[in-house]
Structure 1
Amino acid sequence: MTFYMDVLAHPEQENTLRDNNVDLESQHQKDLDVTESVALRLRDGVYHSSRLTATLREHSQVSTHAETSEDGATPAYQRVVNQVQQILSEVERVNSTIASTSVESSTALPMPLLSMEEWGSVLRSTLHSGDAQTAETLIELMKRGHLDVPEDYVNSILQLYVRDGNYVAFESCLGRLVASPSEQQRHLHVKAHLNATPSQSLPSSALSTLHAYELQSIPPPMKTYTNTIRHLLSVPNSVSKAQAWDLFSHMRYVAHPTPDAFLYTQMIRACASPFAASRSSDPERALDLWTEMTIDNRIPPSSGTWNAVILACARSGRKTYVSEAFRLAREMLDSHRDAHGSLAYTPDRETFCALLEGAKRTGDLARARWILAEMVRSRNTNVEVNEEVVMHVFHAYASYRPPFKRSLARVVEDESPSAHVEASNPDQTPDENLSIASNSTPAFTQVPPQTSTEVISEVELLFNRVLRETGVRSDVSLDEDDVFQENGKFSSVKLTTRLINSYLSTHYIHNSLAPTRDLFWNVFETTSVERDSRSYMEALERCANARKPDRGLALSFAEELFSKWRELEDTNGKPISPRTRERVHIAYLKMLTITENLDRAMSHLQSFVKRYPASAIREPQSIVKLSMRATRTSLVANRPLVRLSTLSEVPDVDVPSLLTWKDLEVLHHRLVAAGRREKDIAYIKYICKSYEWALRVRRDETMRAKPGRGEMEKVQDNGITPIFDQ
């Protein structure tokens, strides 16, 4: 057992958070006491250096009392600074007098007016009050006294400016107090620019500062690149995410060839949200980074690294990589046990959410139900069920296809009405069977639901459990024999718009239109949740896909939805994506078309073209190329030199709303079938070609665009990096 305990012992995980056992309040009180004693000692003329005292008394140039406030209103640290400043001024005047009368050159010696511990206490008292200017004066006094200033003293002052995002004051302080910035100070310099940049904006000034250090052959540490890449990945913009990958490859070329475990984890997680809109994730690149990290560089992964690579594979939606995600999860749990069987990597909520991503994208409801049951049975607080988990489960129900086909069922001759199965209208269940009645007894079983009715039953049971445990509805009766027997497992679920949308998506797929319509208008009021643009978009697309017998009801429902959508579209609230606008108008246009309202469809098409003209797509001001995205080959430049993204790979997400032939094809066919609509048919052809030509012009102008005086040049002109010009 001892042998296997040594062989199978888990490697110690690096603890990035250092234990700080020092009580800040007691430390601050101690610093105040030391500062007050120093102020009293300086006032009474008690000095550690007897040589200095003798010199001062010999020339009679300084008084032993240097107090600046008789009533004590001045803070103690300010009195210390004033007294030391007065003493040093007198000493410097005496030294200049001696130097003018003496032929011999004298070497300046340190004047220990205070011990280093006392200097530190006074400095911490100053910084605790937020007085950065006085703190800078204190460092300058230490230099005037020919003392070696510890780097931590200067860095503690710079931290104040970093916290406030005041890069101008940071660079001014750095230029006065530091001759050559250290590695930590370079990191703080870039961090100050990052904190000054809004969270939704590109950190142009931070990138300029980072590349400026590279041009001086003193690149910042790896954690600086990590922070900058993290900021770039957090910006909801494809250009920013592409720049993050370019900076990652550039860092390995000019500064740090081998990333650390934290940066590897960050980039593997970024593969789950690629900048290219054509891919839901990039599992190939994630697995390459995983292999490079764990096998080539032998860097032990953390739990976050496992979760990141599992998420990147599962989110792809391809069965090969989804299976790889579950294989990695089994390896994470089974291949890293010690001699006692304890896990080295304990699965948490992120692990289960990543696996749910794969299950819902492949329609594997059995795995999704199993994962939810495991989370409910777990006693670990890190796997608590939240809104994201329930949302993934609802999506799994929506993507699930029940195996039972009513058209394939045999008709049994029996007198009981329940034995007869309707063979007409396959895959369509009557409304009274789909709507959950009060006498139904839905329950979770080991076998996944076989019909759409059973799917809706389980969804209702799960949603009612959430409503009851969150306190929204206390009158919901639940089946006590289901798998969720323990109360409180769903109490942490927060009812949000995206959760309600995912719940409705199951009814869009497995329920008929009449109960779905009533549910749409009631569920948001019951849960006190607001509808967003996606709520109306998905409901309108459900109406546009309605079966022929339900199209009359679908049309009235779509008209109600579109009137509410108009109110949301015309308000200046949360911005709506152009692609969402397209899908809403396309669904409503299709709804009008399939119900033979061709005149209304043409009128709606004309209003859409008037609201979103093709000329807006090729406006010159909408085509901007930043200097940081320049692709000209260069060995030295203030931008990434090695890129992982090309100009054609980065999608243009700012394209205004438009229509293509695929969106108008149904309307075109109905007009042709109606006859004598040549003018309307020609108008559709003109609209499609107009948007197509505008897109082609925008693409060509984007490819030919040259970076002008972009953000990098403005940064230099505004003096953001004056430290490099001194």
Structure 2
Amino acid sequence: MDNHTQSFYAKSRRLAEQSVSKLEENVHSRQLSELEERVTALKNATAIDEASIGSPHFSEEDLLVLYEDVLQIQPSDEQTQIVTGQSSEEEIEAEDLHTVRTTASRLLEQDTGVDSRASFLVNQLVMRRGATVSTQDTPHTSVSTPVNATGSLVEAVANRLESIYTGLENFQSYISQQASIPVGIMTEKEWSALIRVSVREGASEVAERVLDLMKRAKAPIAETILNDVLAVYANEGNIRQAEAFLEKYVTESPSERQRDLHIKSYVKATPQNSIPTDALSVIHKYESLATPAPQQSYTRIIMHLFRSRSSVAHAHAWDLFSHMRYAAHSVPDAALYTMMIRACASPSYSGEIEPERAMDLFTEMTVEQGIRPTAGVYHAVILAFARSGKEGYIHEAYRLAKQMLDAHRDARGVSEFKPSQTLFRVLLEGAKRLGDLSRVRWMLAEMVRTSQEEQQNLDETTEPSIKVDDAIMTHVFHTYAAYRVPFIRSETKIIENDGGSEPSSTQNGDTTPNEDERRVESQPRQGSAFSQLPPQTRAEVIFEVDALFSQICNASKSGFSHNFRYVDITPKLLNAYLSVHYSKSPLRIYRELYRTLFAGVNVQKIPQTYLDALERCAMIRNGADRKDALKFAEEVWEEWQSLETKWRNRELDDAVETITPRHVEKATVAMVRLLSNCGQPERALELVKAFVQRYPPLDIRNAQPKHEMRSTRTVLDASRPLVRLTTPFNIVEDNVPPCLSFAEIGILHSRFLEKNDVKAIKYLKWVCKSYEGSLRIRRDRTIKAVPRSVEGDKQGKEGQTVE
């Protein structure tokens, strides 16, 4: 190739490379321009979004509408019934009465009765076949019943239907022995109305007749109709009729509602203060058949056990609760949780308040199970905390009350729960144990204010939802009694200005007749001027209490437009009023009140009245007042002795509150302590001897046999709980006879030690050891279920003589 050709190819390559480079530059420039446009568009879009975010997008009304459904409070059953359009009981009852009257007017016509036409057809058919028929086969009933008498009207309709179906059955028997012609005389609505009206009138026999007629008419019988009739026998506690009804009309396995009504009949037939053994056997029998009763049945039996005054029944209620969660229903409902938490607030089988268990159940219900708490649950757990008497738990009760009123609010700020009389009452339980008078005065004023506001919108016959009653005022008086005034004149040190005399002070202001007591005596007992500051002295406390009690007495006499018109003067209220004077007034004032107060308002004293007076006299320390206290205590003791004798002979009136063995112990111990402090140990020893003679230590050994349901043997398919929460060791017995311990009569023992009276010391020692040994034997027999040993009792009687 020559040089010319080479130069031509070299030039061509340079031109091609230049064109390619220019093309690449053009493409790259176009790509950069497109990328810049996209970045610019993205920046503009971001700026628009930031501008939209920075400005408010929703108004307050929009947010309220948005969160109104989220924070909506669940309506109650009555509100749900109104919203869903369900008929109330009054509307259903009126509709049933109208249906029964319409049916009666249709069936009780004499000239166009269906039974007459049926009799005519039967007679014609028989005559064609050449036979005769007796008129008894087709009876005709002439009924004339007033429409206003509903009960007799239903019975008349039942008689008419019976005659009609008798004629129809005879007619069908002549047509064919196998064929059955359905006849629609009654509708399902009319059948149901007849039965419901019969149930409301208490005519269960008529309701069963109607059910028999439904069978004859081959009409379908709804389960709700059967349950309505069965509920009558269950509410009456008629076990025989309930079981006969189930056997007759329930062909298959009973439903949950029918099983519940079956068990309810047994519970209703059980006396209040006894364990429902038969009901427990039935509910365990259903468990063995793999058809456990509904939770409502367990709740009903547990409620009956808690209402009993027996600690064994209370222990069995907790055992049944644990057994139910193991064998039938693992998750209790809100009603059962409420009952068990409420039981923690009352001294049950162990004789103690259980705030820890109440908190565990409340946490389990609300946190673990996610069940929405009700007002009853809050009231129950607050009551358990308040009655514990411990300051930490009482403050926790206040916190729960605040949570109850503030935590459950809707989007508009309306609380689901409102302050109620029950809430105030359970909070007063805790405040009075702390002596928190400021809080109690505020709650009392708040209740009065709320009651007055509600009364303005109500008529005179309607009671407000929050009212001051005798239970509220009893707590208020107890708070005044427990309140510790910041200024006690007798405990104040008086220092002379000249410094010539030494400071002087007195030891006790309860018994010394000083200026503070004279102010109490001279203080007027009328008036209602209460300052915002709590009372600073005992005289001011007595003034406020007397003013409150005076208003209560005036309200009971007038009864109209008064803040305390709902307060009934009861023995417990009078005892609470007296307790304030016991702690804040001198002896001569509350002694006079004790003599005149109950007679002035015509209220009978209860055992606690005598015990409060005796124990207050035994607490007096000043020797100058002990003689007067002894005279007063002797008057009270004489009244108590007559009441105790009636109790021992079982002659007490039903109006008097029942005396317990613990009352007898406390009264005797108070009198023994007072006599010992007054320098009369011989009289105190005579009281101890009389007590031992009336209540011998050997009587304590007679332990009651263990209940069959309390057996601890592990047996499958047994008619008793398989899982227990209690043991025989922590169940307190209820019927232990009165006894004495060394801690109670130790002061008398000290007095004889000072006198070096060996014989009296040995006797007191024998008394304490005898009661202690008898209690130990009773405990062993109760736990081990050992029968009474006659030989052991004889040996005890032989060793009872004291040298």
TM-score range, shorter chain: 0.7 to 0.9
Contact kept? 1:42, 1:66, Cα under 8 Å: no
In structure 2, do the counterparts of structure 1 residues 16 and 529 end up closer, same or farther at CA, with 3 Å as the change threshold?
farther
Moved more, 110-119 or 597-606: 110-119
CA distance in 2, matches of 1:707, 1:30: 65
Q: Deviations over 1:60-93 (max 9, x none)?
A: 7797963234777984134224314523652674
Aligned runs of 1:290-309 on 2, under 5 Å? 290-309=362-381
Taking the aligned partners of 2:505 and 2:338, their CA distance within structure 1 comes to 54
Moved more, 685-694 or 599-608: 599-608
CA displacement 1:616-669 (0-9 Å, x = unmatched): 1112xx412111111222342211111122111221011010001111111111
Residue 39 (structure 2) aligns with? none
Offset at 1:315?
1.0
Task: Say which is worse superposed, 373-382 or 344-353, in terms of deviation.
Answer: 373-382
* Aligned match for 1:230, one of 290, 303, 326: 303
Q: Does 1:150 align with 2:222?
A: yes
Structure 2 counterpart of 1:648, one-letter code:
F
Which of 524, 541, 550 is matched with 2:625 structurally?
550
Instruction: Give the structure 2 partner of residue 477 of structure 1.
Output: none
One of 556, 566, 577 as aligned partner of 1:503: 577
Partner Cα distance (1:189, 1:16) in 2: 31
How far apart, in 1, do the equivalents of 2:744 and 2:503 lie? 38
Partner of 1:517: 591
CA distance in 2, matches of 1:422, 1:432: 20
The 1-side partners of 2:76 and 2:143 are apart by 57
Shift of 1:2: 2.3
Q: How does 1:603-614 map to 2 (within 5 A)?
A: 603-614=686-697
The AA in structure 2 aligned to 1:223 is Q
- Which has the higher mean CA deviation after the structures are superposed, 229-238 or 25-34? 25-34
Task: Indicate the residue corresponding to 1:183 in structure 2.
Answer: 256
Q: Return closer, same or farther for 1:614/1:464 CA change in 2, 3 Å cut-off.
A: same
Query: Match for residue 401 of structure 1?
Result: 484
Q: Assess if the C-alpha contact under 8 Å between 2:526 and 2:547 holds in 1.
A: no
CA distance in 1, matches of 2:533, 2:713: 60
1:669 is aligned to 750
Alignment of 1:244-259 (within 5 A): 244-259=317-332
User: 1:548-587 residue pairs with structure 2 within 5 A?
Assistant: 548-571=623-646, 572-573=651-652, 574=656, 575-587=658-670
1:27 to 91, 96, 117: 96
**Structure 2-normalised TM-score?**
0.78
Partner of 2:65: 2
Structure with the greater alpha carbon radius of gyration: 2
Instruction: Check 1:59–1:654 CA distance in 2 against 1; reply closer, same or farther (3 A cut).
Output: same
My pick for the range that moved more, 377-386 or 636-645, is 377-386
Aligned partner (choices 540, 544, 548) of residue 458 of structure 1: 544
Aligned mate of 1:390, from 469, 473, 476: 473
Partner SS for 2:177: helix
Q: CA deviation at 1:562?
A: 0.5
Given that residues 432 and 479 in structure 2 are in contact (C-alpha distance below 8 angstroms), is that contact kept between their aligned partners in structure 1? yes
Q: Unaligned stretches of 5+ in structure 2?
A: 1-63, 82-87, 128-132, 147-151, 455-463, 789-803
Q: CA deviation at 1:422?
A: 6.9
Aligned twin of 1:365? 437
Q: Match of 1:11? A: 74
Structure 1 pair 43–628 and aligned structure 2 pair: CA distance change class (3 A): farther
SS in 1 for 2:89: coil
Structure 1 position 116 matched with structure 2 position 161: no
| 1:683 and 2:763 are equivalent in the alignment | yes
Q: State the AA in 1 paired with 2:412.
A: H
Q: Which residue of 2 aligns with 1:713?
A: none
Structure 2: how far apart are the matches of 1:638 and 1:42?
61
Aligned ranges for residues 129-208 of structure 1 at < 5 Å?
129-179=201-251, 180-208=253-281
- Give the one of 132, 136, 139 matched to 1:66: 139
Contact 1:9/1:339 (8 A) holds in 2: yes
CA RMSD of aligned residues (A): 3.1
Q: Give yes or no for the alignment of 1:529 onto 2:600.
A: no
Q: How far, CA to CA, are the matches of 1:155 and 1:91 in structure 2?
A: 33
- Tell me if the contact between 2:490 and 2:505 (Cα under 8 Å) persists in the aligned partners: yes
**C-alpha distance after superposition, 1:263-300 (max 9, x if no partner):** 21121111111414442x21111111111111222211
Which range moved further: 558-567 or 204-213? Answer: 204-213
Indicate the SS of the match to 1:98: coil
* Distance in 2 between residues matched to 1:599 and 1:133, nearest whole Å: 72
Q: Is the 8 A contact 1:43 1:83 kept in 2?
A: no
Residue 177 of structure 2 corresponds to which residue in structure 1? 98
| AA in 2 matched with 1:629 | R
**Equivalent residues of 1:241, 1:274 under 8 A apart:** no
Q: 1:160 to 1:369 in 2, by over 3 A?
A: same
* Inter-CA distance 240–53: structure 2 relative to 1 (3 Å threshold): farther
| Distance verdict in 2 for CA 1:109–1:263, change over 3 Å | farther
Gap change, CA 1:368 and 1:36, over 3 Å in 2: same
For normalisation by structure 1, the TM-score amounts to 0.86
2:363 partner amino acid = T
2:709: which partner in 1?
628
1:699 partnered with 2:768: no
Which letter maps to 2:395?
A: S
The total of aligned residue pairs comes to: 678
| Residues 42 and 80 in structure 1, CA contact (< 8 A), matched pair in contact too | no
Alpha-carbon shift at residue 129 of structure 1 (Å)? 5.0
